[in-house]
Amino acid sequence: MKAALWNVVVFAALIGGFSYVALEGKCPWAASPAAASATAVAPPGTDWCTAHRVPLSTCEVCNPKLARGGTFSVREREPRDGECPNTLVRVTLAPEAARRVNLQFHTVELRTVAETLHALGETQYPPPRYARVAPRAGGVVREVKAALGQDLEAGATLALVDSADYGKARSDFLLAASALGLAQQVFDREQALVERKAGSAQDLLRARTDLDEARLAHSAAAQRLRTFGLADEGLRSLAETKDDASPLVVAAPLAGTVVEASAVAGELAAPDHPLFAIANMDRLWVAIDVYENDLPRVEKDQRVVFTLDALPGRRFVGKVVAVAGEVDERTRTARVFADVKNAEHLLRARMFGRAEFAVKPPQPKLLVPKEAVQNDGDCRLVFVSPAANIYQARKIQVGTVYAAGYEVTGGLAAGEKVVTTGSFLLKTEVLRGQMGAG
């Protein structure tokens, strides 16, 4: 009996020794550290998950919102005077939610850019090189000499018009020329008689008076014909031929292209109804609508590049020649006029495009993409990630707007990363946090 009891004791001792070694010297009934940590309770208000030894706001097991794959927004404190409130909300995004949103980042860096101003513009014929042409007296179109699209020299005949007023003016000129010749003969005769002491001084004085009146009448008749476009050479020809039935010539006032033509033979014509329009197409004007806030950046002789979707790859270079004196009360824009080269005559009037003003020469600027910047009404924000899956808004100051992004004048430094794609979602979560939705 004693031997059997002794065997049991030895066997139990061996089992205990083996268990002690397997448990690394720990008692089988002692609680594990993990179990002890799990049963420990964190102080109230502490952002800490004692079970998994991570901040509770990032624990996807114990934080129910993160466990659902959502977000967790926390307001750190109340804003002080002048402080942007949305910069005090921290957003924690679950890794699975971050993957779904596909957040993208951009590293802020210095880039060499030229300060430019962009605006919309429309081509038009330049006023100094454009003319609408109408007959200088009413009548009937006898013959049309010019066609649409035709290139003409200055003075070229566009049309011939039978005009009663013009015919009367030619007749009046011929009568005045005849009267002047007769008055000159009478004066010469009276002067010769006086010199031979065969005439009276009174008759000579009367003849001189009649000659002066005839000269004035002739000059008035000639000036009347000049208003119809007849030059001095034409006046001399008329005096020689005495042809008072010639038609009124409608002539081109400048060299250029016929861009409008409405004259029809047999149709009535009038001074207030243009029959043709002529423009010099070597250069055109671009009327550019510039917002009043940008007007101080526009100066005369500033370089302008005009581009159009209708002519891809083409750039029309020119300079500012004039700025309108008033701002449109509806659009709050003013017209800026640029004169651009059109050597190949590719541009036509009323073509729509974009104008780029060279405001300042290229210089290094700290740029942030436009999609990274959010406006909450109080300030401009970008989102940075101080730790994994944690995002916080930061207020920045912006300067000039470029095609590549905003110039950053404060709030960011070169090398920092900001959220681009997904920044609007983060802004939405920040606003929810402000309303206590986190």
Nearest to 426, CA basis, from 385, 394, 388, 391: 391
DSSP 247: P
pLDDT of the residue at 55: 72
Of 28-32, 313-317, 407-411, 422-426, where does mean pLDDT reach its minimum? 28-32
pLDDT of the residue at 14: 60
Residue 45 pLDDT level (bands cut at 50, 70, 90) = low
| More confident position, 230 or 316 | 316
Residue 35 has pLDDT above 50, yes or no: no
Mean pLDDT calculated for residue range 399-418: 86
pLDDT of the residue at 289: 96
Strand order in the sheet with 268-269: 248-251, 157-162, 139-144, 268-269
Sign of CA dihedral 179, 183, 186, 188: negative
Give tens-digit pLDDT for 184-201: 999 999 888 888 888 788
End-to-end CA distance of the chain: 74
Residue 38 has pLDDT above 50, yes or no: no
Mean pLDDT calculated for residue range 139-143: 95
Looking up tokens 């993957």 gives 99
pLDDT of the residue at 287: 97
What are the chain's domains? 2-59 (no CATH), 71-103+369-434 (2.40.420.20), 116-126+280-360 (2.40.30.170), 131-157+249-278 (2.40.50.100), 164-246 (1.10.287)
The rounded mean pLDDT for the chain is 83
CB atoms within 10 A of CB 210: 18
| More confident position, 30 or 384 | 384
Give tens-digit pLDDT for 156-194: 999 999 999 999 999 999 999 999 999 999 999 988 888
Give tens-digit pLDDT for 66-93: 554 556 666 777 777 777 877 777 788 7
Residue 241 has pLDDT above 60, yes or no: yes
Residue 285 has pLDDT above 70, yes or no: yes
CB atoms within 10 A of CB 297: 15
User: What are the residue ranges of helices labelled H in 228-325?
Assistant: 232-241
299 contacts 320 by C-beta, under 8 angstroms: yes
Mean pLDDT calculated for residue range 44-63: 65
Query: Which of the given ranges, 100-114, 117-131, 189-203, 375-389, has the highest pLDDT on average?
Result: 117-131
Q: Which residues pair with 376 in a beta bridge?
A: none
State the Cα–Cα distance between residues 337 and 321, nearest whole angstrom. Answer: 6
* E-strand stretches of 30-129: 71-75, 89-93, 105-107, 109-124
pLDDT of the residue at 92: 80
116 contacts 402 by C-beta, under 8 angstroms: yes
Residue 62 pLDDT level (bands cut at 50, 70, 90) = low
Give tens-digit pLDDT for 339-392: 999 999 999 999 999 999 988 777 888 989 999 998 877 788 888 888 887 888
State the Cα–Cα distance between residues 351 and 310, nearest whole angstrom. Answer: 8
Sign of CA dihedral 327, 330, 332, 338: negative
Of 59-68, 115-124, 143-152, 252-261, where does mean pLDDT reach its minimum? 59-68
Residue 425 has pLDDT above 90, yes or no: no
Give tens-digit pLDDT for 216-237: 999 999 999 999 988 888 888 8
Six token digits for residue 192? 């010769």
pLDDT of the residue at 33: 44
